[in-house]
Amino acid sequence: MLVIGFLFAGDSMRASQFDSILATLDRFRIEIPSWGFANTGTRFGKFVQPAAASTIAEKLADAGFVHSLTGCCPTVALHVQWDFPRGIESAPEVAGLAAAHGIAPGSINPNLFQDQIYKYGSFGNPDPSVRAAAAQHVAESIDIASRLGSRDISLWFADGSNYPGTANIRHRRRWFQEGLAAAHRLLSPSQRLLVEYKPFEPAFYHTDIADWGMAFLLAREAGPQARVLVDTGHHYAAQNIEQIVAWLLDHGMLGGFHFNDRRYADDDLTLGSIDPYQLFRVFHEILLFEWERGEQAGIAFMIDQSHNLKGKIEAMIQSVVTAQELICKAALVDHAALSAFQLSCDLVPAESCLQDAFSTDVRPVIAEWRRVRGLPENPLDAFRHSGYLERITAERSAHSNAGVSSYA
């Protein structure tokens, strides 16, 4: 059957490249976010979708359906405040719901930005009682992760200030250092802290963890189980994200991603919709690193998107399919040839190694991989003809105004 797929892919693809794609698909896993299935919006308004999920049961049902169509999304990122209505007491119920839909809990995301007490920050708040409340919430989140068997606790902070002179930047950095170190001490040996960064929004003068260097230093100071989490939307325009990825890989500090796309800032657009070549280059840096080291980098691939206009499930499937295509394209790069061209400063052939791989149509091979594994060859078409959207729209329309959430 795989020989048929190889012939279908065309004579331009060598057998070794075909095998590389299959091996990449077999090991590629990408986590999808529970909040990506719920009603969300912008600061200007929220556009409610009748089929949007408003309970954790509905979110996990949608996530399980996406996994059943794509075969590569076995875990779901969960948000403590939105997905655990009774805190840690909800953990067994969440685990049972996930298992019922053929998936498992993934990264656990504390909420350190929505409560009113965080108006002036969480870990960086001048009020020690607020810092203590934030630390307690993270501790509870780590406990939830332990009970669910989740490896990663993802930390994003909205902390910062809007006006010069209104915050002591150095003091806040030290408070962050103390808070992250305290959280690190609570980890089990198999768990990790992932420290995320963002240059601006909602803080517009200074953000306490504004770039990868700040996240790197704080993670290293926190302890050996802390890593940096890269959100592809959390960068200034034209920033070289793959260079950041390469540096973090070289230091052993790249823990994971929140994948999305953007045109201007943190737009939460569908993965690859604006600049698919950028994500291809990110995947290439990771695969090149793994080829040089001869081992997996242990990176958590995750999607972080919330869609106001596209259908929730359709957009998620679209993102997953795009991620599969782009990492398969990156797997086609001839690392040995590329390394030789780089060492000899042979620029055009070196660049062509990437361009030729990116230009290759890998969709026929992916479709064959899906067919052999009993998956629909075109997950989007399968979803559109499944009747699932019509069913949940009818079931959920009565409470479609509930469950509106926000995520940065």
| pLDDT at res. 262 | 94
Closest by CA to 179, choosing from 231, 142, 232, 150, is 142
Please tell me what DSSP assigns to residue 398.
G
> In whole angstroms, how far apart are CA 133 and each of 87, 116, 187, 254?
14, 12, 18, 28
The span from the CA of 78 to the CA of 46, in Å, is 22
Alpha carbon 83 to its chain centroid, in Å, reads 17
Q: What is the residue whose two structure tokens read 């295509």?
A: 325
| pLDDT at res. 329 | 98
The span from the CA of 119 to the CA of 1, in Å, is 59
Please tell me what DSSP assigns to residue 152.
E
Report the percentage of the chain scoring pLDDT > 70. Answer: 95
Alpha carbon 34 to its chain centroid, in Å, reads 11
Give the tokens for residue 218.
Answer: 């704080």
Determine how β-strand 32-33 pairs with β-strand 75-79.
parallel
Report the percentage of the chain scoring pLDDT > 90. Answer: 89
pLDDT digits (tens, 9 = 90+) for 246-289: 999 999 999 999 999 999 998 889 999 999 999 999 999 999 99
- Classified as helix, coil or strand, 255 is strand
| pLDDT at res. 402 | 46
| pLDDT at res. 243 | 98
Q: Where are the alpha helices (DSSP H) in 122-168?
A: 128-148
| pLDDT at res. 397 | 86
Give exposure, 83-94, as e/b (b: 16+ Cβ within 10 Å).
Answer: bbeeeeebbeeb
Q: Is the N-terminal amide bond of 202 cis, ω within 30° of 0?
A: yes
Examine the pLDDT at 109 and tell me if it is beyond 90. yes
Examine the pLDDT at 95 and tell me if it is beyond 80. yes
What mean pLDDT do residues 307-323 have? 96
Count other Cβ atoms within 10 Å, centred on residue 313: 25
| pLDDT at res. 407 | 44
| pLDDT at res. 406 | 47
pLDDT band at residue 47 using 50, 70 and 90 as cut-offs: confident
Examine the pLDDT at 399 and tell me if it is beyond 90. no
Give the tokens for residue 27.
Answer: 């090991």
Examine the pLDDT at 182 and tell me if it is beyond 70. yes
What mean pLDDT do residues 221-246 have? 97
| pLDDT at res. 44 | 80
Domains recognised in the chain with CATH numbers = 28-330 (3.20.20.150)
Count other Cβ atoms within 10 Å, centred on residue 360: 18
What is the radius of gyration, based on Cα positions, of the chain?
21
| pLDDT at res. 15 | 85
- The answer to whether 142 touches 187, Cβ cutoff 8 Å, is yes
Determine how β-strand 104-109 pairs with β-strand 160-161.
unpaired
The span from the CA of 173 to the CA of 166, in Å, is 15
pLDDT digits (tens, 9 = 90+) for 187-199: 999 999 999 999 9
Examine the pLDDT at 404 and tell me if it is beyond 60. no
The span from the CA of 33 to the CA of 75, in Å, is 9
From the number of C-beta atoms within 10 Å of its C-beta (0-12, 13-18, 19+), residue 60 rates as buried
- The answer to whether 296 touches 287, Cβ cutoff 8 Å, is no
| pLDDT at res. 179 | 98
